């Protein structure tokens, strides 16, 4: 599960509870200034880490907008090299998608770029650099983007939990070698220290809490065991489930999100299960008692306004190839999709607006991949039945899955592995919607 062992460094060290996701009050238009930051990634008292961040912190500030409203963000790049911001999971105007070389020019150091878009879906999203992403996301250039329902479900706390891992020296220094080919050919750059960082440190017993889990790691698939509360999963990748689902063990590929609504019984713990004892990623302490707990059942969030797919479907297939212990392929880099490494000159497919396609994703490799489509959400198919809507789907080694998508958002859209070293080493393609 974790070839690079996670270091058991207690997150319970004195003062560790002071770690909380920044929640900055934002002026409109919002400015996100990217630049070097010093972060306390290890527990307080341990060494600090030189990272990149936004408005002085990593993760960057949590952006919040109401469903259907416009978000205006001035991105000020001060990191010392090119960058751009991608709004992961937002069914966005193509020109605002933040992909250098495809939807915009890279933003040079010292320059600004104005992003402006409407957020059509309520849910949990995030933003991250899409420029040398395997390096810049690893260095901390990302943050949560929350789109609030017009009538949010009744909860006592709405908590974002950013999950990530880092490869750190003993003193907290972020190790270099972001472009390491050995990492790229295997599971990607896995960290040796991991953390789940909640935006709220403390709740009361009996509180109803919405938890928005976001995996911001560049490579690691996080299994998460939640304890201390009971409740339901209500959304995946910012898309409400038709019916709330029992929690069990949670699994998040890089870039995936899970929304839960839970009732707190005791200290909320987020654990990474391992063969021996669990590795604690983070916790929310419990203080006091809620005198009047919310008693209603946890019900489904209002359904997203995503077009229903209609047969006949156009059938396509996408085979993931390469990597260590993988077979040969015709591509020129470590990884390939359908025998091609890197962005092809011509798209995988060109769709008429509104066309529905069923894409068979075939993982012929010895590693898991989290495949992400820009600008759309798709259904994971259960046989012939369209299941959950997602923007990133996890395929374990040897696994095949059909996804079903109504391609109704015009533009050029990336389809790539969100193990960011994999996409850097060939695992990416694109589609065009006319
Ligand atoms: Cu979250 Cu192409 O990325
Ligand atoms: Cu991959």
Ramachandran angles phi, psi of 153, nearest 5°: -60, 150
Average pLDDT over residues 396-422: 98
Which residues, other chains included, contact 372 with Cβ-Cβ below 8 Å and sequence gap of 6+?
Answer: 88, 255, 391, 392, 414, 415, 416, 417, 418
Q: How far is the CA of 343 from the centre of ligand 2 (A)?
A: 15
First-to-final CA distance of the chain: 41
**Residue with the nearest Cα to atom 3 of ligand 1?**
88
- For residue 86 and ligand 1, the question of a CB distance below 6 A is answered with yes
**Ligand 1 atom, smallest distance to 89 CA:** 1
Q: Render pLDDT for 57-112 as a digit per residue (tens, 0 to 9).
A: 999 999 999 999 999 999 999 999 999 999 999 999 999 999 999 999 999 999 99
Query: Cα(217) to centroid of ligand 1, in Å?
Result: 12
DSSP state, 57? B
Q: In this predicted model, what pLDDT tens digit does every residue of 319-363 receive, in sequence order? A: 999 999 998 999 999 999 999 999 999 999 999 999 999 999 999
Please compute the mean of the pLDDT values over residues 410-430 and round it to a whole number. 98
Residue 27's pLDDT is 53
Query: What pLDDT score was predicted for residue 327?
Result: 83
**What's the 423 CA to ligand 2 centre distance in angstroms?**
7
What number is the average pLDDT over the span 143-166? 97
The pLDDT value given to residue 20: 67
Q: How confident is the model over 185-214, as pLDDT tens digits?
A: 999 999 999 999 999 999 999 999 999 999
Cβ of 281 less than 6 Å from ligand 1: no
For residue range 280-292, list pLDDT tens digits in order. 999 999 999 999 9
130 touches ligand 1 (CB under 6 Å) = yes
pTM of the full predicted structure? 0.96
Q: Is the CB of 257 under 6 A from ligand 1?
A: no
**338: its two tokens:** 């359908």
Ligand 1 binding pocket includes 422 (Cβ within 6 Å): no
In this structure, the dihedral spanned by the alpha carbons of residues 73, 215, 176 and 7, taken in order and rounded to 10 degrees, is 140
Can you tell me the mean pLDDT for 363-380? 98
- pLDDT above 70: residue 19: no
Q: Is 414 in the pocket of ligand 1 (CB under 6 A)?
A: yes
Residue 29 has a pLDDT of: 67
Q: Cα(382) to centroid of ligand 1, in Å?
A: 25
CA of 97 to the centre of ligand 1 (A): 9
pLDDT value, residue 4 = 58
Residue 21, both tokens: 């996701």
378 secondary structure, DSSP code: E
Taking the CA of 420 as reference, the closest ligand is: 2
Q: Residue 416 CA: which ligand 1 atom is closest? A: 2
The values of phi and psi at residue 184, to 5°, are: -60, -40
**Structural domains of the chain in order of their starting residue, each with its CATH number:** 8-149 (2.60.40.420), 181-289 (2.60.40.420), 314-433 (2.60.40.420)
Ligand 1 atom nearest to CA at 414: 2
Q: Check if the beta carbon of residue 321 is closer than 8 Å to that of residue 421.
A: no
């Amino acid at each position: 599960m974790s070839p690079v062992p996670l270091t058991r460094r207690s997150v319970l060290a004195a003062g560790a509870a002071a770690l909380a996701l920044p929640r900055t009050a934002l002026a409109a238009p919002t400015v996100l200034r990217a630049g070097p930051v010093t972060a306390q990634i290890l527990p307080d008292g341990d060494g600090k880490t030189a990272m990149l961040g936004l408005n002085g912190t990593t993760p960057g500030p949590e952006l919040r907008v109401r469903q259907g409203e416009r978000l205006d963000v001035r991105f000020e790049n001060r990191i010392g090299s090119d960058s751009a911001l991608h709004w992961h999971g937002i069914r966005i105007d193509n020109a605002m998608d933040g992909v250098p070389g495809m939807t915009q020019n890279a933003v040079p150091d010292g320059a600004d770029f104005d992003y402006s878009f409407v957020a059509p879906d309520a849910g949990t999203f995030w933003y991250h650099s899409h420029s040398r992403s395997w390096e810049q996301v690893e260095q901390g250039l990302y943050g949560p983007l929350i789109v609030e329902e017009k009538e949010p479900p009744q909860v006592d706390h709405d908590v974002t939990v950013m999950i990530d891992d880092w490869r750190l020296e003993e003193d907290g220094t972020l190790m270099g070698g972001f472009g390491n080919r050995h990492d790229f050919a295997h599971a990607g750059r896995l960290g040796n220290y991991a953390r789940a960082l909640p935006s709220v440190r403390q709740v009361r017993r009996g509180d109803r809490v919405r938890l928005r889990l976001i995996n911001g790691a560049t490579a690691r698939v996080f299994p998460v065991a939640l304890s201390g509360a009971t409740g339901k999963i209500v959304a995946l990748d910012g898309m409400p489930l038709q019916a709330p689902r029992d929690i069990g063990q949670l699994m998040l590929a890089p870039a995936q999100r899970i929304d839960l609504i839970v009732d707190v019984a005791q200290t909320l713990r987020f654990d990474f299960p391992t063969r021996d004892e669990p590795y604690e990623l983070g916790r929310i302490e419990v203080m006091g008692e809620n005198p009047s707990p919310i008693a209603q059942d946890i019900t489904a969030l209002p359904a997203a306004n995503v077009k229903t797919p209609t047969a006949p479907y156009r059938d396509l297939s996408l085979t993931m190839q390469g990597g260590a212990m993988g077979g040969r392929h015709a591509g020129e880099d470590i990884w390939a999709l359908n025998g091609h490494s890197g962005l092809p000159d011509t798209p995988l497919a060109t769709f008429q607006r509104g066309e529905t396609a069923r894409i068979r994703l075939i993982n012929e490799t010895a590693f898991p991949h989290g495949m992400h489509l820009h600008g759309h959400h798709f259904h994971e198919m259960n046989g012939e039945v369209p299941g959950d809507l997602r923007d990133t789907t996890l395929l374990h080694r040897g696994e095949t899955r059909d996804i079903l998508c109504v391609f109704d958002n015009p533009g050029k859209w990336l389809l790539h592995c969100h193990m960011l070293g994999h996409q850097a080493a060939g695992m990416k393609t694109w589609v065009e919607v006319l």
